[in-house]
């Protein structure tokens, strides 16, 4: 996978941080990871060189923030594979966790993220890990199946309108279950000078037996739907 050029000292620090994050994810949290696409320069197209997503798509909806050469199904918790990926194969790649097997998530626009956490704290509902990207916040939850999620959403819709009439769950709330993925810190997403970092708002809490404490999606869904109803949906997939 071709990669953008950086000063050697900065590049080494970034690569070490990404490798350590991937190993922490697999060894302590037991989440399967896979490297994502990266920003690349195409010399000769412009001066300075144009920056693109390494997938080659001219209008990539999530540039440098999706699986690239390695299929999502290859996500693993095997430390030797993780070391090979981030030491030799694609050391600048963002760290992607595959959702559905060990962890899942729900996300909403960033404008509603802080408000939602404040509400959950006020009603003493303890969330699990929370990620902040440039445009969206993600609340990590225990794995769920889409049939289970559909039942929970139908229950939410039955009480959305006054008098108990059926409403519609806002499209600004999105679901990261089987077959999905999330970008983890300290990855950066986007292209060139416009790239932005992903950060933890609430870090994972490791259980004594290993793994991470993750709430059930049903315990957060009502608050998520309410928060998502207050903000418009984004025009891009974003992060």
* Token digits of residue 91: 């050391």
238 assigned to some structural domain: no
* Residue 124: count of CB within 10 angstroms of its CB: 6
2 assigned to some structural domain: no
1 assigned to some structural domain: no
Q: Which of 47-56, 103-112, 115-124 has the lowest mean pLDDT?
A: 47-56
pLDDT band of residue 198 (cuts 50, 70, 90) is very high
pTM recorded for the entire structure:
0.85
List, for residues 134-166, the tens digit of each pLDDT value. Answer: 889 999 999 999 999 999 988 888 876 665 445
How far, in Å, CA of 218 to CA of 188, rounded? 30
71 assigned to some structural domain: yes
Domain total in the chain: 1
pLDDT number for residue 158:
81
49 assigned to some structural domain: yes
pLDDT number for residue 45:
53
> How large is the average pLDDT for residues 37-47?
69
Placement of tokens 């390695």 in the chain? 70
218 assigned to some structural domain: yes
Sign of CA dihedral 124, 116, 228, 140: negative
Domain interval for residue 197: 9-230
158 assigned to some structural domain: yes
178 assigned to some structural domain: yes
**Do strands 130-132 and 196-197 pair parallel, antiparallel, or not at all (unpaired)?**
unpaired
pLDDT number for residue 102:
96
């Amino acid at each position: 996978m071709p990669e953008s050029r950086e000063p050697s000292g900065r590049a080494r620090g970034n690569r070490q941080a990404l490798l350590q994050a991937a190993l922490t994810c697999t060894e302590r949290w037991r989440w399967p990871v896979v490297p994502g696409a990266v920003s690349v320069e195409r010399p000769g197209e412009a001066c300075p060189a144009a920056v693109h997503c390494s997938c080659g798509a001219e209008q990539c909806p999530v540039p440098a923030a999706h699986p690239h050469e390695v299929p999502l199904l290859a996500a693993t918790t095997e430390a030797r594979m993780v070391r090979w990926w981030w030491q030799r194969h694609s050391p600048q790649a963002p760290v992607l966790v595959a959702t559905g097997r060990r962890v899942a998530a729900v996300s909403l626009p960033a404008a509603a993220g802080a408000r939602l956490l404040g509400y959950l704290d006020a009603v003493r509902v303890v969330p699990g890990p929370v990620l902040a990207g440039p445009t969206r916040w993600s609340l990590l939850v225990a794995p769920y199946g889409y049939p289970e999620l559909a039942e929970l959403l139908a229950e939410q819709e039955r009480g959305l309108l006054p008098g108990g009439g059926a409403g519609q769950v806002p499209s600004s709330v999105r679901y990261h279950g089987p077959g999905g993925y999330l970008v983890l810190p300290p990855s950066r997403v986007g292209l060139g000078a416009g790239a932005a970092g992903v950060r933890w708002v609430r870090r994972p809490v490791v259980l004594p037996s290993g793994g991470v404490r993750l709430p059930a999606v049903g315990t957060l869904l009502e608050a998520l739907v309410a928060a998502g109803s207050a903000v418009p949906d984004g025009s891009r997939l974003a992060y």
